């Protein structure tokens, strides 16, 4: 806990830099090379970054890095395409297929296909980020196929995201995609050059560029909830809360960063949980505004989307919204409808469709926590969902006590933390003890936790903010301490002591 407490800044925010990524680095390199010697030093650093990461084991990264560097013998973009489409929710499939074609087109090595479905460019039901990205993809692929130039309205939309020195909504991937879409549009030369300079302002020390400029609010709400679960000092928790109230969006929700306006179900739900746990009475006004924002995006199917009304409901976001709505006890009919959607989304093996995490265990733990308080008053499908979640988790534990992102994958700390939250609610704590032993073995001397990247953006491209692992591990340990009374202190590097179970509680 001490390591995470030290990350709480004077203003109450908890911040950590998003690490460099191959995708944005390659797209920026392609643009910078086009503009010649003015960005020679930046290009050299990006080339070195891509050289170091072009064989990192990820099929898409390998293909993107090798294409950007002009290397032969790399996986084709067709292989990368099929890998990508197989890891996204069905409703995003056509857009992801078009996006992968566009990425390789931007890198100058695409064999443009004519099988991109027209719905990939339909922006009528998209939130603003996805709409801008879809228009950029349409422009890139249309130019490569020799179709008519991008329309005036599309140019206006794309150009509206460009302001020198500012990355629109903090999203460098969309920012770079827009620049590639505008690169040959008459009159946009200065806009593109200024946009490239803005992007290069965010070049990291390792030479690469990140997915987003920051994830400060997502880090803050996640760390706040974790610290609260671990019994952190009240002063630090209230400092975090005051910051969150200051950055609450006009619609009552929260976005992943203080620099973005589009709020999302995830950040909003976790902020509600944290503020409620800390002081439900003191923070009643922002909590009510946030719940109104959640209810405003609720789908007709009873589920909740990530962004905006009319967009598809998702299992993980629905679980998050249930956890938030459940803090007030004022919307039982909405909770039951959402639980029905959640149970109906579960797949035969007990998991759920892909969400915003590389790990299937992320949605599992949130669905488990969402359903647990309502088992007695819900239809049989809800307790059955919980039993299937628990069964999957017990089957998935690796020999080292940890859990991997997918079936058969090697253990990693953040997936293990997700699983531990579920295991902490089971009658037999032996699997939880083994998982905790694995987590303690991943801790560095400074208290941080070693883990693989987990968060996705846009799906299914992983990005890495290390502090999130620390927060989820602490949250998991907080859930575990509700169940056990340690017989002696457990320190990193020591074997876990025997623990005496306390009376069973709901996590």
Q: How confident is the model at residue 45, as a pLDDT?
A: 98
Q: Are 94 and 120 in contact (CB under 8 A)?
A: yes
Alpha-carbon span 177 to 107, nearest angstrom = 11
SS (H, E, C) 167-222: EHHHEHHHHHHHHHHHCCCCCCHHHHHHHHHHHHCCCCCCCCEECECCCHHHHHHH
pLDDT at 111: 62
**Mean pLDDT on 3-10:** 97
Give strand pairing partners of 456: 462
Q: What is the pLDDT of residues 433-489, one digit of tens each?
A: 999 999 999 999 999 999 999 999 998 899 999 999 999 999 999 999 988 755 444
Contact 406, 452 (CB under 8 A): no
Cα 135-267-425 angle, rounded to 5 deg: 130
pLDDT category of residue 38 using cuts at 50, 70 and 90: confident
- Checking phi first, is residue 473 left (phi over 0); if not, alpha (psi -120 to 50) or beta? alpha
Q: pLDDT tens digits for 311-326?
A: 999 999 999 999 999 9
| 330: pLDDT strictly greater than 70 | yes
CA geometry: angle 167, 171, 176, nearest 5 deg: 75
**Could you give all domains of the chain from N- to C-terminal order, each with its CATH number?**
20-210 (no CATH), 346-355+378-507 (1.50.10.20)
d(CA 180, CA 461): 19
Please say if the pLDDT value at position 110 is more than 80.
Answer: no
**Residue closest to 234 by CA, chosen among 170, 171, 265, 279:** 279
**Per-residue confidence at 54, pLDDT binned at 50, 70, 90?**
confident
Tokens of 329: 């006890």
H-state helical runs in 403-496 = 413-423, 430-441, 466-481
pLDDT higher than threshold 60 for residue 266: yes
Please name the residue ranges forming H helices in 264-314. Answer: 265-279, 284-296
Q: Tell me what the mean pLDDT of segment 169-187 comes to.
A: 97
DSSP H or E run through 85: helix 77-85
- Which band of pLDDT confidence, cut at 50, 70 and 90, is reported for residue 77? low
- Residue 22's pLDDT band, with cuts at 50, 70 and 90, is very high
Name the band, by pLDDT with cuts 50, 70 and 90, for residue 125. Answer: confident
Question: Burial level of 6, CB count in 10 A (0-12/13-18/19+)?
Answer: exposed
Q: How many CB atoms lie within 10 A of CB 148?
A: 7
Q: What is the 3-state secondary structure (H, E, C) of 418-429?
A: HHHHHHCCCCCC
Q: pLDDT class for 74, splitting at 50, 70, 90? A: low
The least confident of 72-81, 147-156, 377-386 is 72-81
From its phi and psi, is residue 95 left (phi > 0), alpha (psi between -120 and 50) or beta? alpha
Cβ-contact 296, 308 below 8 angstroms:
no
Q: Is the pLDDT of residue 260 over 50?
A: yes
> Given this model, what pLDDT does residue 414 score?
98
Segment among 142-151, 202-211, 352-361, 383-392 with least mean pLDDT: 142-151
pLDDT tens for each residue of 208-224: 999 999 999 999 999 99
pLDDT of residue 115: 65
- Which range among 109-118, 269-278, 395-404 shows the weakest confidence by mean pLDDT? 109-118
Q: State whether residue 254 is helix, strand or coil.
A: strand
pLDDT value for 113 = 57
CA distance 99 to 246: 36
Q: Mean pLDDT across the stretch 397-412?
A: 97
pLDDT mean across residues, the chain: 91
Contact 439, 474 (CB under 8 A): no
What positions carry a catalytic annotation? 266
Task: List, for residues 474-502, the tens digit of each pLDDT value.
Answer: 999 999 998 875 544 444 444 443 333 33
Tokens for 92, please give them. 């995003």
Cβ-proximal residues to 37 (8 Å cutoff; 6+ apart), any chain: none
End-to-end CA distance of the chain: 19
Determine the Cα–Cα distance for residues 200 and 299; give it in Å rounded to an integer.
39
Of residues 366 and 121, more confidently modeled: 366
Q: Could you tell me the two tokens for 231?
A: 């019994």
pLDDT of the residue at 177 = 98
């Amino acid at each position: 806990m001490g390591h995470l407490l030290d990350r709480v800044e004077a203003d109450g925010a908890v911040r950590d830099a998003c690490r460099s990524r191959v995708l944005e680095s390659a797209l920026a390199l392609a643009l910078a090379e086009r503009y010649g010697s003015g960005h020679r030093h930046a290009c050299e650093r990006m080339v070195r970054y891509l050289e170091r990461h072009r064989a990192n084991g990820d099929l898409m990264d390998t293909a993107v890095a090798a294409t950007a560097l002009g290397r032969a013998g790399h996986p084709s973009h067709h292989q990368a395409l099929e890998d990508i489409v197989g890891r996204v929710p069905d409703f995003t499939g056509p857009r992801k297929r078009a996006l992968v074609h566009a990425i390789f087109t931007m890198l100058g090595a695409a064999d443009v296909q004519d099988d991109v479905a027209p719905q990939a460019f339909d922006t009528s039901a998209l939130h603003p980020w996805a709409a801008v990205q879809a228009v950029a993809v349409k422009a890139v692929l249309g130019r490569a196929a020799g179709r008519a130039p991008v329309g005036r309205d599309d140019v206006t939309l794309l150009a509206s995201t460009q302001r020198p020195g500012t990355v629109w909504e903090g999203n460098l991937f969309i920012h770079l995609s827009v620049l590639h879409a505008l690169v040959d549009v008459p009159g946009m030369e200065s806009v593109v050059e200024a946009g490239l300079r803005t992007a290069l302002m965010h070049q990291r020390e390792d030479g690469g560029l990140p997915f987003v400029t920051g994830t400060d609010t997502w880090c803050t709400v996640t760390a706040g909830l974790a610290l609260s679960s671990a019994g952190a000092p009240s002063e630090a928790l209230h400092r975090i809360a005051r910051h969150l109230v200051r950055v609450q969006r006009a619609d009552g929700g929260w976005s992943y960063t203080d620099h973005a306006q589009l709020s999302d179900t995830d950040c909003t739900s976790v902020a509600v949980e944290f503020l409620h746990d800390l002081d439900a009475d003191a923070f009643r006004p922002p909590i009510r505004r946030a719940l109104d924002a959640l209810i405003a995006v609720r789908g007709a199917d009873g589920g909740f989307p990530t962004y905006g009304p009319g967009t598809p409901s998702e299992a993980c976001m629905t679980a998050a919204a249930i956890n938030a709505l459940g803090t007030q006890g004022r919307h039982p009919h909405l909770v039951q409808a959402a639980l029905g959607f959640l149970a109906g989304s579960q797949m035969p093996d007990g998991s759920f469709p892909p969400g915003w995490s590389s790990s299937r265990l992320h949605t599992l733990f949130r669905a488990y926590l969402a359903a647990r308080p309502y088992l007695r008053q819900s239809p049989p499908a809800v307790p059955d969902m919980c039993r299937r979640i628990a069964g999957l988790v017990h089957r998935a534990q690796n020999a080292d006590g940890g859990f991997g992102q997918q079936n058969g994958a090697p253990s990693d700390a953040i997936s293990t933390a997700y699983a531990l939250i579920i295991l902490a609610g089971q009658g037999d704590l032996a699997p939880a003890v083994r998982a905790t032993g694995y987590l303690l073995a991943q801790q560095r001397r400074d208290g941080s936790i070693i883990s693989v990247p987990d968060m996705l953006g846009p799906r299914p491209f992983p990005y890495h903010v290390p502090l999130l692992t620390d927060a989820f591990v602490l949250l998991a340990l907080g859930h575990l301490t509700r169940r056990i009374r340690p017989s002696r202190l457990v320190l990193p590097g020591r074997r876990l002591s025997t623990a005496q179970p306390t009376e069973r509680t709901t996590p």
